[in-house]
Amino acid sequence: MLDKLSSALKKGFDKIAGAIFLDKKVIDEIVKDLQRALIQADVNVHLAKELGEKIRKEAENERIKGIERKEHLTKILHDELIKILGGEKKELKFEKGKNNKIMLVGTYGHGKTTSSAKLASYYAKRGFKTCLLGLDVHRLAASEQLKQLGDKNKLAVFIDEAEKNPIKIYEKLKKELEGYDLIIIDTAGRHSLDKELIDEIKKLTGKIKPDYKLLIISADIGQAAKTQAEEFQKSVDINGVIITRMDSTAKAGGALTACNETNAPVYFIGTGEKINDFETFNAKAFISRMLGLGDLEGLLEKVQSAIDEKSQIKLKTRLDEGSFNLRDFQEQLKSMNNFSFSKIIDMIPGIGSLKEKVDDNMLNTQEHKVKKWQHIIDSMTEEEIDNPEILEKQTSRLKRIALGSGTTTTDIRQLIKQYKLLKELASGSELTNIDPSQGLSQKQMMKLARKFGKKMKF
């Protein structure tokens, strides 16, 4: 479903998360790619433009920096996408035991009959005593089609193949129908919303007084869904939409966003020919699914774990030069919301593959401690930062820092150990002998893993 749009959206979010500088050029690129993908999915050009403008405008806010800026833009884009798709989830509301009625209307072949059965099955499974009522008296095989669908799915079906007046059919069956919580009514289509169709729907609704008149629209008409929904709303007062064939068109984005511009919300979508290829429409869940992430939290996690690349490059240079010091370490802690020791390890040449040998829990514990370390470094003097070795010899300094940072002297010792280990690993002889094209030998790797594992335990 909407594969192209989905991969374009994923790319857009990844670009935000991974950009070195989220500057005008990058934003322009992201916006252009997104707009292209939206327009390909038949989303109205103006809507796509508005979305782009909104992102650009937010991106101009230079006051928000680094990761926060990425988070901000991710959230804005996510929320705007949901907004153009329909915002909050809407649900049909009715009560059990109340003889509720839903009438399905629409032009030819958009999926009224199929959706009637799908809808009946959906509510039957949720405990409603549901039945189908066939009022398409024009198409020859219409009643038979509904009957077959009903029988196949164990749904009660009411039809009258002999009677050609739908009002009379209803009147005849009215008493029997009263025993149901929910009656789903299938009606006839026409080539277009002509006077005949309007008259028939008006007559039927005047008599039946359905709680909901839902328009059935096939997704492949794309943004033309807007005109159709508006016309049906104006002439027969529909109060909701079901979009079918979401599975078989690249234009579904158009149909969804177009309906959202009318006053008729999309309640359900059809995603295939089978009875269960049907689901409630929820813009938020829809976007999450397209992005393959749980929700906004998932997206933000991705941003947070994509370490600020500017400091990443700087750090890598310092590590390569062997000039990495505690100040760099501190800068790293500051520049990352979600400092990850394992990410620093990733950056040490040749050591990425080693990480697998290191217990994940150990790394997680490390990450947990990082906040403490930040406080510790903040309590150090310039001299101590430049030369942390002096701390090991002077307990009075350790005590002072522990007091100032609300930590213990053990915490400070751990930090120094960690920092020294990182420095050692980055400049160690094991790594300087590595042929970059070959990486680490198995033996070198095991040796490092042992060393690393031993030293990391405290």
Ligand X SMILES: Nc1nc2c(ncn2[C@@H]2O[C@H](COP(=O)(O)OP(=O)(O)OP(=O)(O)O)[C@@H](O)[C@H]2O)c(=O)[nH]1
For 135-263, where are the E strands, in sequence order? 156-158, 182-186, 212-218, 240-244
Cα end-to-end distance, the chain, whole Å: 51
Stretch that binds ligand X, among 79-87, 103-111, 310-318, 450-458 (CB under 6 A): 103-111
Strands 212-218, 278-280: pairing kind: unpaired
* CA separation, residue 138 to residues 164, 185, 189, 200, 454 (Å): 8, 15, 8, 11, 81
Q: Which of 69, 70, 101, 112 binds Mg ion (CB under 5 A)?
A: 112
Determine if 150 is a binding residue for ligand X (CB under 6 A): no
Maximum Cα interatomic distance, the chain, rounded to a whole number of Å: 102
Of residues 290, 247, 242, 286, the one with CA closest to residue 266: 242
- Shortest CB 240 distance to Mg ion, Å: 18
**Which residues ranging from 247 to 266 are in contact with ligand X (CB under 6 A)?**
247-248
Residues 53-92 vs Mg ion: string with x where CB under 5 A? ----------------------------------------
Determine if 322 is a binding residue for ligand X (CB under 6 A): no
- Shortest CB 172 distance to ligand X, Å: 22
Determine if 114 is a binding residue for ligand X (CB under 6 A): yes
- Residue-level length of the chain: 458
Stretch that binds ligand X, among 3-11, 84-92, 271-279, 367-375 (CB under 6 A): 271-279
**Tokens coding 458:** 């405290």
**Which residues ranging from 123 to 142 are in contact with ligand X (CB under 6 A)?**
136, 139, 142
**Tokens coding 354:** 């080693």
Q: Which of 109, 298, 322, 453 binds ligand X (CB under 6 A)?
A: 109
- Shortest CB 272 distance to Mg ion, Å: 17
Instruction: Give the Cβ contact number of residue 141 at 10 Å.
Output: 11
* CA separation, residue 338 to residues 66, 148, 266 (Å): 12, 58, 39
Q: What is the DSSP string of 296-322?
A: HHHHHHHHHHS--HHHHHHHHHHHHHT
Amino acid type, 358: V
Q: Which of 70, 147, 245, 318 binds ligand X (CB under 6 A)?
A: 245
Instruction: Please say which residue, 21 or 108, places its beta carbon nearer to ligand X.
Output: 108
Instruction: Please say which residue, 19 or 105, places its beta carbon nearer to ligand X.
Output: 105
Instruction: Give the Cβ contact number of residue 269 at 10 Å.
Output: 25
Residue pair 142/134 in contact by the 8 Å Cβ criterion: yes
| CA 444 to chain centroid | 42
For residue 14, the 8-state DSSP code is H
Stretch that binds ligand X, among 3-11, 39-47, 109-117, 433-441 (CB under 6 A): 109-117
- Shortest CB 108 distance to ligand X, Å: 4
The entry of Mg ion, ligand X, none near residue 273 (CB within 5 to 8 angstroms by kind) is ligand X
- Shortest CB 244 distance to ligand X, Å: 4
**Which residues ranging from 214 to 233 are in contact with ligand X (CB under 6 A)?**
216
Determine if 118 is a binding residue for Mg ion (CB under 5 A): no
**Cα separation of 160 and 176, whole Å?**
13
Residues 173-212 vs ligand X: string with x where CB under 6 A? ----------------x-----------------------
Of residues 205, 208, 206, 229, the one with CA closest to residue 217: 229
- Shortest CB 82 distance to ligand X, Å: 22
Three-state DSSP state, 30 = helix
Instruction: Please say which residue, 187 or 340, places its beta carbon nearer to ligand X.
Output: 187
**Cα separation of 419 and 326, whole Å?**
7
Determine if 270 is a binding residue for ligand X (CB under 6 A): yes
Stretch that binds Mg ion, among 46-54, 110-118, 176-184, 303-311 (CB under 5 A): 110-118
Instruction: Please say which residue, 119 or 315, places its beta carbon nearer to ligand X.
Output: 119
Write the burial class of residue 231 (CB in 10 Å: 0-12 exposed, 13-18 middle, 19+ buried).
middle
Stretch that binds Mg ion, among 16-24, 106-114, 204-212, 306-314 (CB under 5 A): 106-114
Residues lying near Mg ion in the complex (CB under 5 A): 112-113
- Contact positions toward ligand X, by CB under 6 A? 106, 108-114, 136, 139, 142, 189, 216, 244-245, 247-248, 270-273, 277
